[in-house]
A and B are shown apart, each in its own frame.
Chain A
Amino acid sequence: MSLQRADTLGGRAAVVGIGATEFSKDSGRSELKLAVEAVHAALDDAGLAPGDVDGLVTFTMDTSPEITVAQAAGIGELSFFSRVHYGGGAACATVQQAAMAVATGVAEVVVCYRAFNERSGHRFGSGLQARQPSAEGVAMGWTMPPGLLTPASWVALHAARYLHTYGLSPDVFGHVAVADRRHAAANPAAYFYQRPITLADHAASRWIVEPLRLLDCCQETDGGQAVVVTSVERARDLRHAPAVIAAAAQGAGRAQEAMTSFYRDDLTGLPELGVVARQLWRGSGLGPADVDTAVLYDHFTPFVLMQLEEFGFCARGEAAAFAADGGLELGGRLPVNTHGGQLGEAYLHGMNGIAEAVRQLRGNSVNQVPDARTVLVTAGTGVPTSGLVLTADG
């Protein structure tokens, strides 16, 4: 997808298989083992075998290399392997990479995966201690000595400005948390299955980094998730109805940083997602009104509100009103994160959200939106990121 012209990727490839391990707080096995299990599960779901795979894509943050996953999963020669950077911002971009490879004939069947022991192993929320003096380390290093050490702290600095600009209280973030947890409560795969919360629970939860409370923060998860991408033509011969990749895009804004874009514009939006949104609407020929349900990346609630504004579901500063009164819940203005999101289901760096979008198009989500034919999916926020518009075939 280009910034200037519509690309030719839309409609060429589809997600045909989804598979995950259980989502837990202590998987009891290696990250590589989780990756291999997720890849196998996704291939089984697609009705494909390891021998069909000729491409693998993952995150630069993943600890399991493509070649090692292939080696342990019974996958042979690879003609395409790729990794995408910037944490959770990579999620939808792995599918874009796969679709580009399939559309150009570089590969035929590509599996995208992400697996980690983010709860029992290295926890992102434990706080940075040191960074190497690379360009990336220096960029992160400006905020470390004064004590912004966690993702929550970086997001909170944006969130505080957003609340100030629009005269809102931190309680408005509760609408997002309540929606996610309501959806998770109906999802047996979710960590917070059968444990919904109220706005009062949200408002009473303890501060993590003011203005973010505990219930504004996603959980930490051990697990793996994979999705299988192939051409739309081949998809039509497989087990499930294809989830067509109508548009896929990456985006970085001007003066973009990874989580610390504090030095540009007014801090009330997510310009990198604006770049993604422009491309997705143009590439798919669709707009906000066409979206039946959305999976909006929710490591922290404030950025869900900003995404609603960046994608044009509502005007600037109006997302809190849009989300109020069940606006993001099943039956609301725009059902969001029907799997429970990363607050409710699991924190799989956004990959579990892609799987939920596919389930909505197949019609077998635990919180099914009636006749869902167009789903928007976004990836990590606050970082260079990516997005997908997935549609039903035909």
Chain B
Amino acid sequence: MNLEAYQGLPSTVGGVGLDLVNAPMIRHWCEAMGDANPAYAAAPAAAIAPPAMLQAWTMGPSGRRAHFDALMRDLDAAGYASVVATDCEQQYARPLRIGERVLFDSDIESVSERKRTALGTGYFITTRTDVRAYDEAAGEKPDDATPVGSHRFRILKFTPAERRERPQAVDAGSLRPRPVVNRDNAGYWDGVAAGELRFQRCDDCATARFPWLPGCNACGSDRWHPEPASGDGEVYSKVVVHHPLPPAFGAKPYTVALVELAEGVRIVANVVGAEPEAVGIGMPVRLGFQRCDDDLLLPVFHPAGPDRLPPLRVPVTRTLIVAGAIASRDYQEVHHDAELARAKGAPDIFMNILTTNGLVGRYVTDWTGPDARVESIAIRLGVPAYPGDELQFSGEVSERGEGGRLVLAIRGTGRLGVHVSGTVKVRVKGASA
């Protein structure tokens, strides 16, 4: 098997998008991703496609693919039958608009040495696709096509490792201590389940209080109502727990903070999305929620401030995985058929990289607003996202450039660890974001 020979060969020549860029596919994508960006839902003349859809317009059989198919056949025959996408790097020269036809060509950029990974042993294959488009609906011709962007995609073609070698899900014997709930504080935990952090406010003297108690320490009144916290706060005190380290808290020292909320009450919670040494007293933080196991959802705090994106929680449902796969026109069984996914060595179906990419794009434009121009999204996948998990996205501005250009570092974490880390370059107008 001479894999090196494939390097530099074309993998798709003369590819033509099967459908014009169109509102229904954009709508399906936005519905699957939960992306409510109005820039994608405007009237056809004004609407743009979500940038992360770039690859979706190229999916399906088109163009001549002889070399790529031969490479896949070689690897299948050698026993490397499983495939998983690991990296996706997209650059966007301009937005795609409704009525445009995409044209694309790709090369096999590289084939790695044989690698051992947590998933198994195999080869990383990187392809690079250049995408152009012309406004066919307006009567333009293929020769009128101008560059839209490019797209580098890395897959691992592998033989699955024995199951025991793969990271296991949460061990039922090593769960975090459960909340202690009775009639006096049940309303607090009901709030957490509903995605709110609720404190109490006295009906008589209006004093806000936490922890929950059936009466007011300021005036003794037993009349009160719950209020949801705005979610803004700052670190009032902070420790790093080194010993003992119960298994449920992971193998590394973890941060516990006393957070003073904007409303003046304090709560003990983990600060996530930052290394322990990066969390300091006085640091602004923003409320999020973390799913620790099937039965435990906890309020947590993320570093906040002008350079931090507010956290976003995305429950990983079967619907999201399947709808995302279909919206991105990815019909690999592992993304919709649990039985076949198991036959290929996965414990269940898992999210495809294009859905993850779409969620990263959505997370960024939720923050920037619809006027921002996404210039690139480059992501690397870590642990898979299976049904029942919950992804928690966090991000920060790592660089501020000229003309409103921002470089954002984005991370999405599930209960097994980091699912995605990546860099998004975006240009924002004026003072937004």
Contact = CB atoms under 8 A, between A and B. Distances in A.
A267 B246 CA distance: 27
A209 B182 contact: no
A89 interface: no
A146 B239 contact: no
Contacts of A255: 217
A21 to B, nearest CB: 28
Interface string A346-382: 0000000000000000000000000000000000000
B151 to A, nearest CB: 41
A265 B177 CA distance: 28
Nearest to B243: A208
A262 B176 contact: no
A64 to B, nearest CB: 28
Contact of A133 (B181, B265, B282): B181
A263 B270 CA distance: 16
B242 A209 contact: yes
Contact of A207 (B180, B243, B254): B243
Q: Which of B178, B179, B182, B241 has the most CB of A within 10 A?
A: B241
B198 to A, nearest CB: 13
A138 B265 CA distance: 18
Contacts of A141: 179-181
Contact of A139 (B179, B211, B241, B258): B211
A127 B217 contact: no
B179 A263 contact: no
A267 B237 contact: yes
Contact of A210 (B178, B182, B240, B292): B240
Contact of A262 (B178, B244, B268, B292): B268
Nearest to A211: B239
Contacts of B179: 141, 144-145
A211 B27 CA distance: 52
A289 interface: no
Given A146-B269, A147-B254, A262-B268, A128 B177 contact: yes
Nearest to B241: A209
Interface residues of A, number: 45
23 contacts: A129-B177, A132-B180, A135-B184, A137-B180, A138-B181, A138-B185, A145-B296, A146-B298, A146-B300, A147-B249, A147-B254, A147-B270, A148-B268, A149-B177, A150-B244, A156-B239, A157-B237, A206-B243, A211-B239, A212-B239, A262-B266, A262-B268, A263-B265
Contacts of B178: 130, 144-145
A126 B268 contact: no
A354 B241 CA distance: 32
Given A148-B256, A209-B242, A210-B239, A133 B182 contact: yes
Given A145-B298, A149-B246, A206-B242, A158 B217 contact: no
A263 B269 contact: no
A313 B298 CA distance: 43
B266 A210 contact: no
A134 interface: yes
Interface residues of B, number: 41
B128 interface: no
A262 B241 CA distance: 17
Nearest to A125: B244
A143 B210 CA distance: 12
B185 A157 contact: no
A127 B268 contact: no
B152 interface: no
Contacts of B180: 130-133, 137-138, 140-142, 144
B289 to A, nearest CB: 12
Interface in A97-140: 125-135, 137-140
Nearest to A150: B244
Interface string B52-85: 0000000000000000000000000000000000
A263 B266 contact: yes
B176 A127 contact: no
A292 to B, nearest CB: 35
A5 interface: no
B236 interface: yes
Contact of B241 (A140, A147, A263): A147
B279 to A, nearest CB: 11
Interface string A250-275: 00001100001011000100000000
Contacts of B181: 133, 138, 141
A161 interface: yes
Given A129-B177, A145-B179, A147-B246, 4 more contacts: A132-B180, A143-B268, A164-B237, A209-B239
Interface in B231-284: 236-244, 246, 249, 253-254, 256, 258, 265-270, 276, 281-282
Given A128-B177, A145-B179, A262-B268, A164 B239 contact: no
Contact of A127 (B244, B267, B300): B244
A160 interface: yes
Nearest to A135: B184
Contacts of B182: 133-135, 137-138
A293 interface: no
B125 to A, nearest CB: 42
Interface string A80-104: 0000000000000000000000000
- 9 closest cross-chain pairs (CB), A and B: A141-B180, A133-B182, A210-B240, A161-B237, A144-B177, A156-B239, A207-B242, A164-B281, A143-B268
A153 interface: yes
Given A153-B241, A160-B237, A209-B243, A146 B211 contact: no
Contacts of A161: 236-237, 258, 281
Contacts of B281: 160-161, 164
A202 to B, nearest CB: 16
A265 B269 CA distance: 19
A372 B180 CA distance: 48
Given A129-B177, A137-B180, A142-B268, A160 B211 contact: no
Contacts of A144: 176-180
A237 to B, nearest CB: 49
A126 B245 CA distance: 10
